[in-house]
A = this chain, B = another copy of it.
């Protein structure tokens, strides 16, 4: 793991996301790292209110974790493919991705109160499109899986936010 997460290097105007923005005080502030050369890792402990029925995590949170984990993974993979690191990569659209499609399969109820581990792997890496598959585990059991199609952040989208 690097000491800082991928999201810690997002430029300020892209750091307000409820899921992963370090500047969103009310948000989830998820942090994603390389676990090894091929796998990214986010560890997140849901809040007590993130319940579905008592004792289990609601599906929307799981989708949220996958969403930001996968765009973070896409960013890190694009940066690495350019021969850079999150520390050295310039704040350019080519390194920022948004989700075009998020397909989540819920395999079993996800227990609330223990750390959730989201792991992702890049399945396809193109200049403007990165496909990431991911799993979410709790206590060593995979509870959900995901495939996310992410695309380079549109210039118009980026311009609107500045």
Contacts and interface: CB of A to CB of B under 8 A. Distances in A.
Interface residues of A, number: 46
Interface stretch (A57-65, A84-92, A115-123): A57-65
A98 B102 contact: no
Interface stretch (A31-39, A131-139, A154-162): A154-162
A141 interface: no
Contacts of A21: 51
Main secondary structure of the interface of A (DSSP, over half): mixed
Interface in A29-68: 47, 49-56, 58-61, 63-65, 67-68
A14 B100 contact: no
A18 B55 contact: no
Contact of A51 (B17, B55, B101, B157): B17
